[in-house]
Structure 1
């Protein structure tokens, strides 16, 4: 079954970031892990490595032993991702992204504050690899959706990606009904 969140990110990389190649669920044999979405822009030698967490009602909520596990889980995932792409794409400009539409803020001082988790994950990765993660969350996630919709609305040729085709249909239907 298609993972719509991952397809959405792959479409963003293809149509907005001009990646010639996108791969969903890239299995990393050495680390026995999986990268959700990878995009490669050959012309500019840029690589986009994305983890996608579409948790709607709970927000960003990975759990282990009935306890939130965002920090450990995502720090480990990005660590494996970084080591993998540094090995196989040493000469590429790399962008590491976390895509999650709903990341909640709790009361100040709460130990289960998802926004604090995001900051800690980024801090862990910066400390270990000197890399800053790009957080495509909340408003920024919405802004990326708007970029995709805008792009789709300007295209008349059929877009092959189901997500982009839906955005294209919506835009052209709205335009048609407005006449």
Structure 2
């Protein structure tokens, strides 16, 4: 499966701001079968702190929505449970952080429901925008190739001259 641009944004943040030594995209549980079809969008591992970041990334710029509100909440809960299962099975030596990244989530019912999912860190709306800003500031200060296409684009944009 192709890596979505939003996944590269999250990967850049995990690598450059959360100090992850390893970032992987579209991770499928080993063994195949039906379980192997349910991928995790982005996983980052900080080997120094033994922290694993398991991230669901939904880059719906017109607003996160899968049908109606209840379907959307159920789907996010299912993805969160899948993150928890993967972490327990494959990353038991790590402290697992479960995250939902989405740039546009309708404020109100959905944001309230997501905030009530215990253990799920929501990087949405303004928080998402602030983290992009952190990457932009870092891009303005650096020139090395971090091997992430989104971050490289930010560096190019920050270093343009007339």
TM-score higher than 0.5? yes
- Please show how residues 109-120 of structure 1 align to structure 2 within 5 Å: 113-120=109-116
Number of residue pairs matched by the alignment: 156
Q: TM-score, normalised by structure 1?
A: 0.81
Tell me, yes or no, if structure 1 residue 81 matches structure 2 residue 63.
Answer: no
Q: Matches of 1:170 and 1:141 in 2, distance apart?
A: 19
- Please show how residues 29-48 of structure 1 align to structure 2 within 5 Å: 29=30, 31-32=35-36, 33-48=38-53
Q: Pairwise CA RMSD of aligned residues?
A: 1.6
Give the match for residue 23 of structure 1: 24
Q: Matches of 2:145 and 2:39 in 1, distance apart?
A: 31
Q: Matches of 1:93 and 1:160 in 2, distance apart?
A: 26
User: Do the aligned partners of 2:21 and 2:45 also contact (CA within 8 Å) in 1?
Assistant: yes
**Residue by residue, what CA displacement relative to the aligned partner does 1:28-82 show, whole Å, maximum 9, x if unpaired?**
246342111000011111100000011111x11013xxx4411111111111110
Q: Matches of 2:106 and 2:57 in 1, distance apart?
A: 16
Find the residue that maps to 1:28 and give its secondary structure.
Answer: coil
Tell me, yes or no, if structure 1 residue 159 matches structure 2 residue 146.
Answer: yes
Stretches of 4+ moved more than 6 A in 1? none
Tell me, yes or no, if structure 1 residue 62 matches structure 2 residue 66.
Answer: yes
Q: TM-score, normalised by structure 2?
A: 0.89
Q: Matches of 2:30 and 2:47 in 1, distance apart?
A: 23
| Unaligned ranges ≥5, structure 2 | none
Tell me, yes or no, if structure 1 residue 170 matches structure 2 residue 140.
Answer: no
> Which structure's CA Rg is the greater one?
1
Given the superposition, is the C-alpha separation of residues 159 and 87 from structure 1 closer, same or farther in structure 2, using an over 3 Å criterion? Answer: closer
User: Do the aligned partners of 2:3 and 2:25 also contact (CA within 8 Å) in 1?
Assistant: no
Tell me, yes or no, if structure 1 residue 148 matches structure 2 residue 138.
Answer: no
